[in-house]
Structure 1
Amino acid sequence: MESFIYTASPGRVIFGSGSLSKLPEELEREGRQAALILSTSFQAGEAEKVRDLIGSRAVGIFTEAAMHTPADTTERALAVAQNLKADSIVSVGGGSTIGLGKAISIRTGLLHICIPTTYAGSERDPKIFPSIVIYDVNLTTTLPQSHSATSGVNAIAHAVEALYAPDTNPIIKLLAKEGVRALAASLLVIVKDGSDLEARSKALYGAWLCGLCLGSTAMSLHHKLCHTVGGSFDLPHAETHTILLPHTIAYNNPAVPEAMRDLAEVLPESNGDAIEGLNALLNQLRVERALKTFGMKEEDVDKAAAIAMENRYSNPREVDQEKLRELIRRAWAGEPAKTDL
């Protein structure tokens, strides 16, 4: 067997239906008396429920979390935390809220408790792990079916890149394959019946595993492109991941045959071809496939390719700017992914 190094992700995970009820005792266990609750404006209701649950241990709610964690939003949240003398942060929501919680925690050292309500896996970002993550399937039942699909594919992207990461290992590959298998199967059910709790629970489990992959290995071309395209042109995070994923996999396909076999093994209707399996999954999930739908202009394609080439990063196949430009153009136009680049 090959030699490898595996570092387990730190943190405490509480998983299960109704597990949000454990939050008060978790705060007590950590000796925290002044939690600041974070959310977006759209999830202010969930933040209020958390406040009511923990009672006097809540010192306030900040509901201005936004996509890509704007610096001015972080500064305002920091000021609120300091003014209220918060000793902990509780973020309830998706990547925007959890990203804000991480930004505050890394600057202040405050205890960060994440309560994810999507499948994106942002709570496992390697830059800073939260101390506690509470996965309660009941909080995901109101996630729209269309958003569930793109959020789940976002999580799948973490596992895909972990399969061919330079620092991957047999443990991570097991987590990645199980995560993709669980998400692919459950998302197909959720888009037909968003109230199916068993499918919702399985999707949350898969997202957790895929998030562990994100936090344990180096990400490559796909994540680099998503950050470049999404951040530079203000595109929705999960949708950008969903659109780009088949194209980035197709680009790296020649360099990672083992990873492609592993991926094909866990995707339904793959017929032994990972790209075919992913395309079939996305078609059945009825997700949008073109970046232009979300406001990216054709003249932005060259700019995106140039920005993506600015900083070196690990990737199993050398990245060529002209080929990268064509990859982005195909994603912009919503064309099928091809392995001819």
Structure 2
Amino acid sequence: MRFEHETLAQRVCFAPGEAAVAVRAEAKRLGGSRVMVIAATAEADLAEKVTAELPVVLRHEEVVMHVPVASAERARTAAAAHDVDLLVSIGGGSTTGLAKAVALTSGLPIVAVPTTYAGSEATSVWGLTEEARKTTGVDARVLPRAIVYDATLTLSLPVPMSVASGLNALAHCVDSLWAPRTDPVDQTLAGEGIRALATGLPAVASAPAGLEGREQVLYGAYLSALAFSSAGSGLHHKICHVLGGAYDLPHAQTHAVVLPYVLAFNAPAAPDAERRIAHSLGAPSALEGLQRLRHAVDAPKALRDHGFQEADIDDAVQAILEVVPASNPRPVTPNALRQLLRAAWQGADPLTLSGEES
């Protein structure tokens, strides 16, 4: 056994019902005296409650999906103008992503308070979109110094969005099993993350007001992000980053739709990963377990339901081919990728891909 694994330096606080107390403690620990709170308009009231006792000098509400460069520049300018020394992000992946964009150029520390299951808070990965192209990178400066997980903050997240966000986290786990830098630690984290998400998501769907399911999903989302941050982006994430940046598709729903097709495509060439996923899902096969879970939570089914046009498939194929990881378990040819995208666009049975030739 020979590998290298880097553990990220980050403080993680699970504090159900105590987000305000935990955030105040983390801000004090980091010496924050001029705080910039980043939260979308829809979550402004929630953010106000969580940060009421902080020395806030700026509340920034311009949060845009996929973090356009122009939006990031306005946030950076505002932070500098107010002499900010600490960022507190409260929201989903787009909110965390904007805080990361500010930290990328300023080095300001972040306290992240997730209200979805995006997982961005636990990674050193940043992403920016310009001219319909999403660029991602890895930089230690963007890793939040602290995360405060409070399941009560996710109670207002509607079930359909909870499902999509949770399946996005599951995609982090699955991709981490064959991503370019995967190692036994990442694979162990991913396996436990899959188990937690598969336990929590049906509970959220059946009892949205309950905390137990939401806590399991938060826990699974955190583990998924740890695995993903270390293992890197596999085929699934490369596909979804292109689709999201180029066609402005909703992030979580895109990941939720594409996942079974990538799993069906790669699983025959990655038997160890397939067995681990199946075991974590408690199913005879990985794809059967995933489809069973997706059915139980009424998962998003087709890219055409979320704004992707059939006419864009060929252009998307060319853009994705440029970023396919060389280490993918199975060769990715234009025809194979075209078939995958068409099936995801239609919402076809992913089993139709598992036996396809590349």
User: TM-score band (shorter)?
Assistant: over 0.9
Matched, 1:58 2:56: yes
Matched, 1:334 2:347: yes
Opposite residue 12 of structure 2, the aligned amino acid is V
TM-score when scaled to structure 1? Answer: 0.96
Matched, 1:322 2:335: yes
Instruction: Select which of 183, 197, 206 maps to 2:220.
Output: 206
Aligned to 1:40: 40
**1:94-125 Cα distance to aligned partner (Å, 9 max, x none):** 01100000000011011111101111111123
Does the residue aligned with 2:313 lie in a helix, a strand or coil? helix
- 1:130 CA displacement: 0.9
Aligned to 2:98: 100
Instruction: Please give the residue correspondences for 1:50-129 in structure 2 after superposition, counting only pairs within 5 Å.
Output: 50-54=50-54, 57-126=55-124, 127=138, 128-129=142-143
Determine the C-alpha separation between the residues in 2 that align with 1:8 and 1:223.
Answer: 21
Does the residue aligned with 1:158 lie in a helix, a strand or coil? helix
Aligned to 2:132: none
Determine the C-alpha separation between the residues in 1 that align with 2:116 and 2:104.
Answer: 22
Shifted more, 331-340 versus 120-129: the winner is 120-129
Determine the C-alpha separation between the residues in 1 that align with 2:51 and 2:27.
Answer: 12
8 A contact 1:235–1:294 mirrored in 2: yes
Matched, 1:3 2:15: no
Instruction: Please give the residue correspondences for 1:261-340 in structure 2 after superposition, counting only pairs within 5 Å.
Output: 261-268=275-282, 270=283, 272-314=284-326, 315-338=328-351, 339-340=354-355
- 1:282 CA displacement: 0.7
Opposite residue 340 of structure 1, the aligned amino acid is G
The unaligned stretches of length 5 or more in structure 2 are 125-137
Instruction: Please give the residue correspondences for 1:149-164 in structure 2 after superposition, counting only pairs within 5 Å.
Output: 149-164=163-178
- 1:312 CA displacement: 4.6
Q: Please give the root-mean-square deviation of Cα atoms over the aligned residues, in Å.
A: 1.2
Alignment coverage as a number of residue pairs: 336
8 A contact 1:47–1:61 mirrored in 2: no
Shifted more, 175-184 versus 126-135: the winner is 126-135
Q: After the TM superposition, which segments of 4 or more aligned residues of structure 1 sit over 6 Å from their partners?
A: none
Opposite residue 45 of structure 2, the aligned amino acid is G
Determine the C-alpha separation between the residues in 2 that align with 1:170 and 1:78.
Answer: 38
Determine the C-alpha separation between the residues in 1 that align with 2:270 and 2:120.
Answer: 26
Opposite residue 10 of structure 2, the aligned amino acid is G
Determine the C-alpha separation between the residues in 1 that align with 2:92 and 2:60.
Answer: 15
**1:172-223 Cα distance to aligned partner (Å, 9 max, x none):** 2221111110111110011011111111111111111111111111221100
Determine the C-alpha separation between the residues in 2 that align with 1:243 and 1:137.
Answer: 25
**1:242-276 Cα distance to aligned partner (Å, 9 max, x none):** 000000011111210000000000114x2x11111
8 A contact 2:179–2:235 mirrored in 1: no
Determine the C-alpha separation between the residues in 2 that align with 1:176 and 1:196.
Answer: 25
8 A contact 2:242–2:316 mirrored in 1: yes
Determine the C-alpha separation between the residues in 2 that align with 1:305 and 1:10.
Answer: 37
Does the residue aligned with 1:78 lie in a helix, a strand or coil? helix
Determine the C-alpha separation between the residues in 1 that align with 2:93 and 2:257.
Answer: 18
**1:51-99 Cα distance to aligned partner (Å, 9 max, x none):** 3132xx1111001111000111111111111111111111000011000
Opposite residue 333 of structure 2, the aligned amino acid is D
- Percentage identity across aligned positions? 40
TM-score when scaled to structure 2? Answer: 0.91
